[in-house]
Amino acid sequence: MRTLILAFALGASLIVPILLLLMFPPWWPIAIGVLALAHGLVLWPTLRPNSQWLGPVMTSFETDSNEVWLTIDDGPTDDTPALLDALDALGVKATFFVKGVLVEQRPDFVSAMLARGHSVENHSQTHPSGAFWCLPPSSVAWQIDQCSAALEMVGARSRLFRAPVGMKNPFVHPILTRRGITIVGWSVRGFDSFGDDVQRVVQRIVPRVRSGSIVVMHQGRGFSVACVTGVVRALQAKGYSFVVPVPERLKTKR
Ligand SMILES: [Zn+2]
């Protein structure tokens, strides 16, 4: 699919419009249309989180019981000790998708995550939210490798990668494949990086969760700990338990 899209995009965006304009100048609207379609075919799966067009993105996991996977992005931030205490009190293990620069600043926070039985994975070095989708291959590789190196310093190995704000471009999959890293999206998100209303986030997430769902939340906001606590309590009340699935259990469909 990825090869097809790229081949068409390249052909359509360069060759077809030029030929059309040279041979049939009055047909310029068609040339523009082809150009727009070619760009759209690349932009849509790039900017749309969890799109599978450019390669597999894991959005759920295999399970026979009421299990969900809590993933917490954008740390390690100052609320890490409080968050770890809250997760301990709730009896929950989670996966932290961390930024390499923050790992370098607070490796002790990451060591604490690992020591408490959570897993830690790659969420890029600097989290360039607005630019990741348009980075060239060398910069994509740098973002992934630097974060992997930061994680190695605390004894963790990157097996999974979550793209900043879920956006990826056509270079991301081949770079990850060469490194044996799987790209992970989510099944359910609560937009908890915005606002400060815990109940609203709980109401957004809980009704959408099924067994095998990957829930994405964030740390580092004033209400992050309360938010994670609220969501976990509500899901536990509905009979869900929390697991960190091995990568082999991850699936691309719900
Ligand atoms: Zn993020």
Q: How far apart are CA 146 and CA 150, in angstroms?
A: 6
Report residue 48's pLDDT band, with 50, 70 and 90 as the boundaries. Answer: confident
CA–centroid distance, residue 74 to ligand 1 (Å) = 5
Where residue 193 falls among pLDDT bands split at 50, 70, 90? confident
Decide: 175 and 143 in contact? Cβ < 8 Å. no
Residue 251 reports pLDDT greater than 70: yes
| Amino acid 18: pLDDT | 78
CA–centroid distance, 233 to ligand 1, in Å, is 23
With a cut of 80, say whether residue 39 has pLDDT above it: no
Q: Is the pLDDT of residue 206 over 80?
A: yes
Residue ranges with CB less than 5 Å from ion ligand 1: 73-74
Distances (CA, A) of 77 to 26, 60, 110, 191, 224: 58, 26, 10, 18, 11
In the prediction, which pLDDT does 254 show? Answer: 64
CA 215 to centroid of ligand 1, rounded, Å: 13
pLDDT in tens, 76-118: 999 999 999 999 999 999 999 999 999 999 999 999 999 999 9
DSSP string, 70-132: EEEEEE--TTHHHHHHHHHHHT---EEEE-HHHHHH-HHHHHHHHHTT-EEEE--SS--TTTG
pTM of structure = 0.87
Ligand 1 centroid distance, CA of 219 (Å): 9
What is the whole-number distance in angstroms between the Cα of residue 166 and the centre of ligand 1? 8
What's the 163 CA to ligand 1 centre distance in angstroms? 7
Q: How far is the CA of 70 from the centre of ligand 1 (A)?
A: 14
